């Protein structure tokens, strides 16, 4: 009985960190959600006025939960810096996310320091290599790149 209870608990916990897909035979399979967890900011590159990317002096965290919630915070050390996602050198937003496919996710903003972001769906490209994740925008007008490292 104890082993059945333990097996049930393990199954419930692992179900929250997986996403469904189908194999070649049409059967449903589970693949791990590699976004889940906390990620610390390694580097953020954004365009200058001349269009060239430069590395911003900042720190931050991006957290993804197994039940589809996400939160990001970035603090620019120079309060005058930051993109359209930041105010007074600080970026903060939270909401839900969904994995669209193996290389994109959509972050639905439910709350943000920059209030014009609230209610928007921000589609992002991502690549994970080892413990690092690179995120870029799918919007061809946005030219930034962020590297995160899994805690």
Please give the residue range of the domain that contains residue 13.
2-31
Domain count of the chain?
2
Assess contact for 106 and 124: CB atoms under 8 A. yes
Residue 58 and residue 24 in one domain: no
122 within 8 A of 106, measured Cβ to Cβ: yes
Asked whether the beta carbons of 148 and 41 are under 8 A apart, the reply is yes
How would you write the pLDDT of the chain (151 residues) with one tens digit per residue?
444 333 333 333 333 444 444 455 555 555 579 999 999 999 999 888 888 888 999 999 999 999 999 999 999 987 666 667 888 889 999 999 999 999 999 999 999 999 999 999 999 999 999 999 999 999 999 999 999 999 9
Answer yes or no: do 84 and 128 share one domain: yes
Determine the Cα–Cα distance for residues 121 and 98; give it in Å rounded to an integer: 10
Distance from C-alpha of 54 to C-alpha of 56, rounded to nearest angstrom: 6
């Amino acid at each position: 009985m104890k082993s059945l209870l333990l097996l049930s608990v393990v199954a419930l916990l692992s179900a929250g960190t997986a996403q469904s897909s189908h194999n070649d035979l049409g059967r449903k399979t589970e693949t791990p959600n590699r976004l889940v967890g906390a990620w610390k900011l390694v580097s953020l590159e954004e365009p200058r006025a001349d269009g060239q990317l430069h590395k911003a002096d900042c720190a931050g965290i991006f957290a993804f939960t197994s039940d589809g919630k996400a939160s990001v915070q970035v603090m620019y050390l120079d309060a005058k810096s930051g993109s359209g996602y930041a105010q007074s050198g600080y970026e903060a937003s939270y909401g839900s996310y969904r994995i669209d496919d193996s290389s994109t996710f959509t972050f639905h903003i439910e709350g943000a320091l920059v209030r014009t972001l609230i209610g928007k769906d921000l589609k992002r490209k991502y690549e994970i290599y080892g413990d690092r994740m690179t995120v870029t925008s799918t919007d061809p007008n946005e030219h930034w790149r962020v590297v995160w490292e899994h805690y």
